[in-house]
Amino acid sequence: MPFSVLDLAPVVSGATSGDALRNTLDLARRTEGLGFHRYWLAEHHTMPGIASSATSVLIGQVAAVTSRMRVGSGGVMLPNHAPMVVAEQFGTLEALFPGRIDLGLGRAPGTDQATARALRRSPDALSVDDFPEQVIELRNYFAEDSAVTPAAGNEPPVWLLGSSGYSARLAGLLGLPFAFAHHFSAENTLPALALYRDTFRPGTLTEPYSMIGVAVTAAESDERARELAAPQALSFLRLRQGRPGKLPTPEEAAAHPYTPLERQMIDSRLADQVMGGPETVKRQMDALIERTGVNEVMVTTQVFDHADRIRSYELLAELYDLKAAEPPAARGL
């Protein structure tokens, strides 16, 4: 079972975007050494606690400081961009780092409508309804006879990302690999994966290949893991309340005066995570893998201290002996 990394370049309280981006490069180097298979960056905009907005730029930086692991987008929100521009960007990356780039595509804007309009500068292009046509247009730019340089002949593996059934069905119909956002849409995980497998027709792949994004906080004990997970739960709560900010400290999260409704939201958020000491994490992760039947797990860990974040990935790598694992060679993924 390959394990991979999803990074949002979190900006923590008291730090800068530059600090977050340098931590991203450090985490990429370290997780490659631990045996993780791929490293994806997520596109979000106008969020003070996320520094991965210029996704293609950051992918190039991560690929440059690593040598083995695949690097890609988890994902590029295609409605925000002209498909030709995305083709040029990722054709460039694939030309520079052949065989190591992934292009994960999402159909949501990843931000509010005003920001999406500023990104695309065309109100008529903000609809997600033309996502299938955008995907096909984008892939055509990578054809060998395309006039778009350096995209022509440099198509990286294209993944579809989703948090509902829409992209699951489309990925199945196009025969593409599919990644589901279990970390923030856990209730839809099993139906979406079933829909992907049921609708799959051979295309780029001859058989389905699925991955789930999972929020993981591993520590030396269950109690310590819950302490480390509290800041990102508070950050999520503030986002839901329309008050996005930097990732708070554990002390701030512990001192927050939660209302009963807020506490219920926090508990629900944490219940969908894999969280605890080594034995608890192994038990929860094994159960999740068995329940979903996925081919790969992509781990996102949002904790305040960079050292604690690294340690969480170290513990997971030790539990699954990732250094000794053979990377999946089949299907070029």
For the chain, 333 residues long, the average pLDDT of each consecutive 10-residue run is: 96 97 98 97 93 96 97 93 96 98 88 71 62 96 97 98 95 98 94 98 96 98 96 91 93 94 89 96 98 98 98 98 74 73
Closest alpha carbon to 120 in 74, 79, 77: 79
- The pLDDT of residue 126 is 52
- The pLDDT of residue 329 is 59
- The pLDDT of residue 327 is 65
- The pLDDT of residue 205 is 96
The superfamily CATH assigns to domain 3-221+275-320 is Luciferase-like domain (3.20.20.30)
Closest alpha carbon to 163 in 238, 213, 125: 213
Strand 178-180 and strand 158-162: the pairing is parallel
Report the predicted TM-score, pTM, of the whole model to 2 decimal places: 0.94
